[in-house]
Structure 1
Amino acid sequence: MLSELDQFYLKQEEPLQSCLLGLRDIILSTNDEITPEWKYKLPFFYYRGKMLCYLWIHKKHKQPYIGFVDGNLLNDEDLLVEKRAKMKILLIDPQEDLPYEKIKSLLATAIKARNN
């Protein structure tokens, strides 16, 4: 029996499925202490037991994104605030190569902020 977390990825249409799985792999490869969780009906990623980021699909843009829990501590021109107080999101174009270095850099900064 597949978990709800696994089902989330598998029920996505291509190219969203490959994009989301790629994002998951990048996030999990960033640090051994990042763990995947199913929280609020979303794929969440925790660092040392605290929420770090999550994956979702933007309703208006129809693109996957990484939502950074402490996005207010991240300064990057590609991050969108929208109507969130603390969180910022990074929209990902599923037709393009994943912005690997940018994602790794943002995660490293978010982890550093978590450690302070």
Structure 2
Amino acid sequence: MKNNNRVNSTDQKNGFAVDEAARHFFRASATDFKKIPGSPIAYWVSKRVRLIFDKFPPVGGISNIRAGMATGDNDRHVRIWHEVNTENLKLNAHSTADVWGNGKNKWVLFNKGGDIRKLY
């Protein structure tokens, strides 16, 4: 029984403690950690994620990994969609010549990640 927001019965106290512990308890083996490159102690990783690391090769073994486009100064060069004049926006660029060739384009799509979409 609850009385003034307190659990009084021993059974309820024990049940509450078990439920609370189950929310914060993870079980993982050392061999599961070895499946993830660098062997981080990622005990919260699901069985499915461990299986993906175990079954598939790392991306670096399939292709060269490189950083994408970078501005060097995001505060100066990255804008949100509504801040850019669409007449100065190049949407279908395939090369730097496509972007800067006509002298009119000032902005291109820049996928930086995160919640907001900005332009570069």
Fold shared, TM-score > 0.5 on shorter chain: no
The TM-score, its normalising length taken from structure 1, stands at 0.20
Larger RCO: Structure 1 or Structure 2 (Cα < 8 Å, ≥ 6 residues apart)? 1
As a proportion of its length, which structure holds more strand? 1
